[in-house]
Amino acid sequence: MKISSLLSKFTNSDNGLVVPKETTEELMNPDRGWYKMFTFEVGDEPDFKGLVPLLIGKETLVLLFFNIGKCKERLISDDELSGMRKIVNFFRSQKKDVILRVAYDNDGNAFDCEPSTFSTCLEHISQIGGLVKDCGSDCFIFQGALIGNWGEMHSSRYSSTDRMKKLVAALEKTAGTNTYLAVRKPVMWRELRAMGDVLKTEKLGVFNDGMFGSVTDLGTYSQDECPTSEWTVPWSRKVELEFQDKLSAVVPSGGEAVFGDGYVNTVPLDYFLTDLSMMHTTYLNRQYDTKLLDIWRDKFIKSSGLWNGKSFFEYIGAHLGYRFVIESVDIKKSGKGGLRSDNDLYSSIGSFVEFTVRNDGFAPMYRQADLYITLGGEMHTVYGALNTIPAGETKVISSSFRAKEGELSIYARRNYDDTPVFFANESDSDGRIVFGNVKGQ
């Protein structure tokens, strides 16, 4: 994907209202962006005060990794589960959205750290599913199924398709419906789902901790061309990206971008943007791999548009997940500009407001966000309006008002907790955009 095809455009209204200009800032928006990883041993009581300075103010995501290796031959105790919930609560109190991973190993040595019986794994994942259900919307994504090196579902005695199916089924049964789940590879997803399910409403996605590490993303894809009729085998990079383009349009994906074997030096910089866009990448680790992240920091965009002179790191960070830009606002009044006034429905309408909104991000917004539009003191709510704008597309959002004049403004909030969702237009500190005053007829 060429940079020019991703450049932002600025449009002023010609109706006396002013659309604030677009900013290149990375927005402090929920459910997206760079994340920092924090690792805990189950049962440990962290120094919460000491954690506060380690948090990055403008970032809204953290990945919490709980190592439960000490429980490999017993159940996780109620106190240990309560301690995990307490840690999640702390990060939520700091306004961080949580990606959660629980595993037996965080040192690349799963064989020695996993339980001796598979039945213990099933008991553990049901316990963890209960924790996830208890966390509810406080847990954005749960990664993996406890097993494998670093919880990445490989190099485990329990990574057969049959056992993975049982683990994920137990997790889905107990985890509730408020949290997205993710497995390590697209082929793992296909092993768990029947052909064709990718287009259905889904809560199970993928995470990729081997992005750009090699042509296969460190074994995420196959080097060979395989027909897509072979549903449960890895496909080539090109075909797997096309698959993820569909899957991750409905469920979030992300992970780690790694330097690996130097494959990144063999491809043009635009290549990264194309792949991140096709994967609809919502989140990336900001700590690893610094060797690749520093390449992105040291390379700059050359274009005639808004992002000229910005680094690839800045551009990628700003476009992780969703990025909504208001392009224009239009207003029509009763008896003027096309609004009818010859029946009861339209005679009660004083003004009809239309906003053109573009999603410049790599991904959609997955959890519900609502728009609050005010004209002359009259407020209307458009529920879920932003969630229906796919990555790279534009939508017209409209609302009708009895009012015919007064200040016109808009802001957005995540539905479940009222967290501000900022547009990429200049706004006040709460994300509210004022377009000016609509004059009466």
- Residue 147: exposed, middle, or buried by beta-carbon count in 10 A (0-12, 13-18, 19+)? buried
Task: Answer for the pair 158, 122: CB distance below 8 angstroms, yes or no.
Answer: no
pLDDT on residue 164: 96
Radius of gyration, CA atoms only, the chain: 24
pLDDT on residue 344: 42
- Higher-confidence residue: 378 or 7? 378
pLDDT on residue 371: 97
pLDDT on residue 343: 40
Three-class DSSP category at 48: helix
Q: Would you place residue 4 in the very low, low, confident or very high pLDDT band (cuts 50, 70, 90)?
A: very low
pTM of the full structure: 0.93
Provide the 10 A C-beta neighbour count for residue 381.
11
pLDDT on residue 298: 96
- Higher-confidence residue: 224 or 171? 171
pLDDT on residue 225: 85
Q: Does domain 3-10+27-319 have CATH number 3.20.20?
A: yes
Helix axes 237-247 and 269-278, enclosed angle (nearest 10) = 50
Give the C-alpha separation, 131 to 179, whole Å. 11
pLDDT at 197 over 70: no
DSSP per position, 181-236: EEES-HHHHHHHS-TTGGGS--SEEEEEEEETSSTTTTTTSBSS---TTSTTS--B
Q: Encode pLDDT of 79-102 as tens digits.
A: 999 999 999 999 999 999 999 999
pLDDT on residue 375: 95
Q: What are the respective helix, strand and coil percentages of the chain, to the nearest 5?
A: 30, 25, 45
Q: Encode pLDDT of 329-378 as tens digits.
A: 998 876 544 444 444 444 456 889 999 999 999 999 999 999 999 999 99
Average pLDDT over residues 422-433: 97
Phi, psi of 429 (to 5 degrees): -65, -15
324-438, what's its fold?
Immunoglobulin-like (2.60.40)
pLDDT on residue 202: 80
pLDDT on residue 349: 67
Region for 57 from its dihedrals, namely left if φ exceeds 0, alpha if ψ lies in -120 to 50, beta otherwise: alpha
Provide the 10 A C-beta neighbour count for residue 401.
24
Domain regions of the chain by residue span: 3-10+27-319, 324-438
Q: Would you place residue 10 in the very low, low, confident or very high pLDDT band (cuts 50, 70, 90)?
A: very low
pLDDT on residue 227: 80
pLDDT on residue 338: 45
DSSP H or E segment with residue 270: helix 269-278
Average pLDDT over residues 63-85: 98
Task: Answer for the pair 142, 100: CB distance below 8 angstroms, yes or no.
Answer: yes
pLDDT on residue 332: 86
Q: Encode pLDDT of 229-287 as tens digits.
A: 899 999 999 999 999 999 999 999 999 999 988 899 999 999 999 999 999 999 999 99
Three-class DSSP category at 412: strand
Task: Answer for the pair 137, 178: CB distance below 8 angstroms, yes or no.
Answer: yes
Provide the 10 A C-beta neighbour count for residue 232.
12
Task: Answer for the pair 120, 85: CB distance below 8 angstroms, yes or no.
Answer: no
Average pLDDT over residues 196-204: 68
pLDDT on residue 266: 92
pLDDT at 419 over 60: yes
Lowest mean pLDDT segment, chosen from 149-158, 172-181, 229-238, 335-344: 335-344
Q: What is the mean pLDDT of the chain?
A: 91
